[in-house]
């Protein structure tokens, strides 16, 4: 018997739900996850007109959530509806299809993260001195963190949807998640973007140079550097850079945040491992492209080696790097606990670690949502870059 | 008689590999006159393509090198010419088209870009002039609606159209010599015929010489004025096309001709193939005829030493110890 792909989907979902129930997950939770997965998969079967309607509507709904706080409700509705309508008219279905997937996956992300947090031992209110049950219950009620993860999810989502409020931090007294992550986000972004640019510049230069002359001195030296970059942990690289440039030479400040000179060393530390991966990928890409027939054609036309490399080979050579950049960018932008601690930078990496260690549920969810958004944004950018570089993938994007 | 357009003399091209020195082309000599179509025939790995890559100085680096001989083109010696000077000739006076049009065009660039850059490079045309010239040539090689189609990417072209675009690219600077390295091998039979017909028309129109590399003797018969059969990095027989087909005088040529399927043959005769493989070229130099191990007519004299390439009739050369009559 052959299954249609839709039947296959149903069967898979049923199997996933079955496994969840078997390992003892409460039926409500298993049901919710399966429902979320179904919603994620469903847009694949939507026809183009359906995608446009659903995508436009979802876009308008999300926009309304953002707009309604600063604007009067009527205006927010009108504006959101206008944008939704414009999207329905003009935005290509392949992008609206992403919107259809994005909204349910964001909700599912929050739910699954809640489940995982709750299944970790301990709670945000566990203290060395055991508090009485009444105190704990009162605290849970006050912070909106009931015993059941599903209840918590309901409270959290209501709060986000109604007030665009990501909740109070459970362990940092008197601060909300917005207070904590709000100032840290631009710090991590600027550090991350600098590191990303550095990583690409260093990695591509070394990698392409190596790939043009495989097994030469340039190749071995670049790849040697890359292996060092990949295998040295960043606290070692960071400490070395600090010793040389901050302590011995005294060119750059040891730690702190605020000027461009503060940016350089941590960005370099953050960039080097990524630069090493990029170098290896672009080396492989360059070697591969330079063996292609069309490079021989370019030579037979009488083009100079420069024109051959930059005009004919480069696009193909950096394709593997581009697909690596999506996940890499998300990792690099969200900051690194080690680098931030080493250089005394008030970034987000701190909260990724502290939130998890302290079981600060609302901070964990806040960081998860930011991470997810960056991954989504960069994957979209990567796909667009891919289509720009390789005309053959344009149609089926 | 004036000097030939291209004169290859005793060309020796070698590759340094881990298995040793590969003598890919070992003492090949031939002239190509203006407006002539010369066929270069032989099995895979017999040195046809390497001969052509040597002419343009396009040998894979750093393994490949020209170890000896001379290649004169319009009174210029190409062997030992600087890369800079060679680049001025490539794509300009000598153009080349390749076997697989699917992979020989750059998938990342528009056809327009790939054609126009040749005109800009060699003819000093401005971009619009180069594009206009490219459109004219695409039109000439039979691409319909060339003004629009030139904006396409190669993957939007069919195989035949890509080879036409390659030909247009090669013709952009009106070359005196076109090297066509198995230009139809990757194409459907009907398209093959169209492309070959096109090449012939273009030769008649522009008077350029063509070196046609192929392993398909059917292609040679319809196209070439003169044929050279290569084996193991050497020319083993050279003749006008008519003579070669009528009276092949080298056992290898004869075996090649016998292994071409024929439509007019009655019954269900088995298609003949040549037993065995060509010798490994990293085992040379050879002290016997290189074809001896596969030759049906082999005798002691064949193993005593390598026969030389000798002229034995007007415009005919062969490399065999047997008398021509013994082979025919």
Work out whether the CA dihedral A58, A59, A64, A66 comes out positive or negative: positive
pLDDT at residue A179, rounded to an integer: 86
Closest-CA residue to A237 (of A193, A245, A192): A245
Q: What CATH class is the domain A177-396?
A: mainly alpha
The C-alpha of A293 sits at a distance from chain B's nearest C-alpha, in angstroms, of 5
- Closest residue in B to A304 (Cα) is B87
Identify the pLDDT of residue A395: 61
Q: Which residues pair with B96 in a beta bridge?
A: B179
Contacts of B91 in chain A (CB under 8 A): 300-303
Q: Of A120-134, B55-69, B92-106, which gets the smallest average pLDDT?
A: A120-134
Give the nearest chain A residue to B62 (CA atoms): A213
* Residue to test with chain B: of A295, A301, A307, A393, most B Cβ within 10 A: A301
Q: pLDDT per residue over B105-156, tens digit each?
A: 999 999 999 999 999 999 989 999 999 999 999 988 888 898 999 999 999 9
The residue among A172 and B233 whose pLDDT is bigger is: B233
Residue B160 buriedness (CB in 10 A; 0-12 / 13-18 / 19+) = buried
Residues of B in Cβ contact (< 8 Å) with A304:
87
User: Cα separation of B3 and A393, whole Å?
Assistant: 52
Looking at chain A, how many residues does it have? 397
How would residue B308 be classed by pLDDT, with cut points 50, 70 and 90?
confident
Chain A closest CA to B236's CA: distance in Å?
A: 28
Pairwise CB contact (< 8 Å): B87 & A303: yes
More confident residue, B269 or A266: A266
The DSSP output letter for B28 is E
Q: What parts of chain A have a pLDDT lower than 50?
A: 397
* pLDDT number for residue B265: 62
**Looking at the predicted structure, is the pLDDT value of residue B267 above 70?**
no
Chain B contact set for A297 (CB, 8 A): 98, 104-106, 166
DSSP conformational letter for B260: S
Distance CA B143, CA B158 (A): 11
Give the residue from B159, B144, B44, B146 showing the smallest Cα distance to B105.
B159
The answer to whether A344 and A269 are in contact (CB under 8 A) is no
Closest residue of B to A291, CA-based?
B60
Q: Searching chain A, which residue's CA lies closest to the CA of residue B153?
A: A391
Q: Say what the pLDDT of residue A275 is.
A: 92
Contacts of B153 in chain A (CB under 8 A): 391-392
Contact flag A293-B153 (C-beta cutoff 8 Å): no
CB of B185 within 8 Å of a chain A CB? The answer is no
Q: How many CB atoms lie within 10 A of CB B14?
A: 23
For chain A, the C-alpha Rg in angstroms (whole number) is 25
Contact A187, A334 (CB under 8 A): no
| Residue of chain A nearest B98, judged by CA positions | A297
Question: What is residue B62's predicted lDDT score, i.e. its pLDDT?
Answer: 78
User: In the numeric block, which tokens belong to residue B197?
Assistant: 């017909």
**Hunting for tokens 């959530």 — which residue is that?**
A65
Q: Which residues of B touch A311 (CB under 8 A)?
A: 109, 117
pLDDT score of A242: 85
The minimum CA-CA distance between B95 and chain A, rounded to whole Å, is: 7
Question: pLDDT per residue over B159-194, tens digit each?
Answer: 888 988 998 999 888 899 999 988 888 788 888 888
Instruction: Tell if the CB–CB gap between A390 and B107 is shorter than 8 Å.
Output: yes
Is some CB atom of chain A closer than 8 A to the CB atom of B159?
Answer: no
Could A391 and B155 be called an inter-chain contact, meaning their C-beta atoms sit closer than 8 Å? yes
The stretch B39-46 carries a mean pLDDT of 87
Q: What is the pLDDT of residue A214?
A: 85
Question: Which residue did the predictor score with more confidence, B264 or B40?
Answer: B40
Residues from chain B that touch A289, judged by Cβ atoms under 8 A, are none
Nearest CA distance, B2 vs chain A (angstrom): 28
Contacts of B109 in chain A (CB under 8 A): 311-312
Q: Is residue B272 within 8 angstroms of chain A, CB to CB? A: no
CB proximity under 8 Å: B 284-323 to A: none
According to DSSP, the residues that pair with B9 across neighbouring strands are B70
d(CA B48, CA B44): 8
Angle between helices A361-389 and A149-163 (to 10 degrees): 70
pLDDT band at B287 (very low <50, low <70, confident <90, very high): confident
Q: Measured between beta carbons, which residues in chain A are less than 8 angstroms from residue B118?
A: 301-302
**Shortest CA gap A291–chain B (Å):** 10
Question: Is the omega angle on the peptide bond into residue A245 within 30 degrees of 0, that is, cis?
Answer: no
Using a CB-CB cut-off of 8 Å, the residues of chain A touching B107 are 294, 316, 390-392
Cβ(B28)–Cβ(B234) below 8 Å: yes
Q: What value of ipTM does the predicted structure carry?
A: 0.86
B89 interaction partners in chain A (CB closer than 8 Å): 302
CB contact under 8 A, A294 and B90: no
CA nearest to A316 within chain B: B108
Q: Are the beta carbons of A301 and B155 separated by less than 8 Å?
A: no
Query: From CA A343, how far away is CA A253, in angstroms rounded?
Result: 9
Q: Are strands B316-318 and B234-240 parallel, antiparallel or unpaired?
A: antiparallel
Residues of A in contact with B104 (CB under 8 A): 293-294, 296-297
Nearest to A302 among B92, B106, B166 (CB): B92
Domain boundaries of chain A, sorted by first residue: 46-119, 177-396
Cβ atoms of A183 and A149 within 8 Å: the answer is no
pTM value is 0.80
Instruction: Tell whether B56 lies on the interface with A, counting CB pairs under 8 A.
Output: yes
Structure tokens at B19: 């298995």
Contact A384, A390 (CB under 8 A): no
Chain A to chain B, count of Cβ pairs less than 8 Å apart? 68
> Which residue from A minimizes the CA distance to B115?
A301
What percent of chain B shows pLDDT beyond 70? 96
Mean pLDDT of B254-280: 75
């Amino acid at each position: 018997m052959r299954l249609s792909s839709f039947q296959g989907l149903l069967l898979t979902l049923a199997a996933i739900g079955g496994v969840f129930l078997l390992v003892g997950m409460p039926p409500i939770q298993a049901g919710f996850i399966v429902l979320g997965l179904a919603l994620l998969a469903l847009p694949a079967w939507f026809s183009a007109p359906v995608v446009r309607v659903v995508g436009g509507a979802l876009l308008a709904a999300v926009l309304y959530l953002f707009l309604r706080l600063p604007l009067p409700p009527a205006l927010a509705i009108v504006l959101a509806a206008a944008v939704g309508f414009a999207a329905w008219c003009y935005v290509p279905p392949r992008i609206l299809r992403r919107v259809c997937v994005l909204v349910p996956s964001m909700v599912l992300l929050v739910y699954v993260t809640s489940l995982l947090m709750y299944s970790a031992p301990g709670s945000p209110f566990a203290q060395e001195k055991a508090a009485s049950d009444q105190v704990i219950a009162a605290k849970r009620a006050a912070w909106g963190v009931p015993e059941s993860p599903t209840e918590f999810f309901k409270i959290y989502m209501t709060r986000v949807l109604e007030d665009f409020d990501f909740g109070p931090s459970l362990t940092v007294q008197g601060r909300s998640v917005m207070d904590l992550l709000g100032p840290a986000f631009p710090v991590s972004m600027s550090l991350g973007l600098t590191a990303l640019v550095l990583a690409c510049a260093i990695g591509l230069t070394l990698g392409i140079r190596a790939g043009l002359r495989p097994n030469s001195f340039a190749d071995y030296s670049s790849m040697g550097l890359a292996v060092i970059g990949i295998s040295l942990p960043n606290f070692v690289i960071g400490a070395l850079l600090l010793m040389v440039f901050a302590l011995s030479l005294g060119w750059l400040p040891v730690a702190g945040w605020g000027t461009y000179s503060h940016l350089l060393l941590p960005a370099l530390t953050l960039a080097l491992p990524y630069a090493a991966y990029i170098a290896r990928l672009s080396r492989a890409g360059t070697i591969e492209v330079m063996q292609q027939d069309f490079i021989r054609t370019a030579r037979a036309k009488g083009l100079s080696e420069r024109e051959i490399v930059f005009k004919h080979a480069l696009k193909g050579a950096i394709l593997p790097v581009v697909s690596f950049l999506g996940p890499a960018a998300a990792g690099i932008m969200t900051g690194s606990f080690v680098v931030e601690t080493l250089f005394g930078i008030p970034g987000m990496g701190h909260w990724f670690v502290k939130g998890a260690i302290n079981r600060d549920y609302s901070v964990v969810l806040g960081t998860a949502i930011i991470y997810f958004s960056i991954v989504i944004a960069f994957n979209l950018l990567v796909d667009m870059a891919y289509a720009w570089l390789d005309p053959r993938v344009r149609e089926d994007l | 008689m004036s000097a030939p357009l291209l004169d290859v003399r005793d060309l020796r091209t070698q590759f340094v590999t881990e298995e040793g020195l590969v003598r890919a082309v070992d003492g090949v000599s031939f002239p190509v006159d203006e407006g002539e179509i010369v066929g270069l025939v032989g099995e895979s790995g017999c040195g046809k393509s390497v001969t052509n890559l040597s002419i343009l100085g396009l040998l894979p680096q750093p393994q490949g090198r020209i170890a000896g001989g001379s290649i004169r083109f319009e009174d210029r010696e190409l062997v030992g010419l600087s890369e800079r000077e060679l680049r001025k000739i490539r794509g300009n006076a000598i153009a080349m088209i390749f076997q697989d049009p699917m992979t020989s065009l750059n998938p990342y660039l528009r056809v327009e870009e790939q054609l126009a850059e040749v005109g800009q490079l060699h003819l000093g045309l401005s971009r619009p002039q180069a594009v206009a010239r490219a459109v004219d040539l695409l039109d000439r090689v039979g691409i319909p609606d060339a003004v629009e189609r030139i904006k396409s990417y190669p993957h939007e072209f069919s195989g035949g159209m890509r080879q036409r675009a390659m030909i247009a690219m090669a013709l952009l600077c009106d070359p005196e010599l076109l090297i066509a390295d198995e230009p139809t091998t990757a194409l459907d039979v009907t398209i093959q015929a169209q492309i070959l017909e096109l090449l012939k028309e273009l030769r008649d129109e522009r008077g350029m010489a063509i070196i046609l590399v192929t392993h398909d003797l059917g292609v040679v018969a319809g196209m070439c004025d003169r044929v050279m059969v290569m084996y193991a990095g050497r020319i083993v027989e050279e003749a006008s096309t008519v003579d070669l087909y009528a009276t092949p005088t080298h056992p290898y040529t004869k075996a090649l001709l016998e292994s071409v399927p024929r439509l007019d043959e009655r019954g269900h005769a088995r298609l003949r193939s040549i037993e065995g493989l060509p010798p490994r070229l990293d085992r040379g130099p050879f002290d016997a005829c290189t074809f001896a191990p596969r030759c049906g007519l082999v005798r002691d004299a064949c193993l005593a030493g390598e026969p030389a390439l000798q002229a034995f009739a007007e415009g005919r050369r062969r490399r065999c110890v047997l008398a021509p009559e013994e082979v025919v």
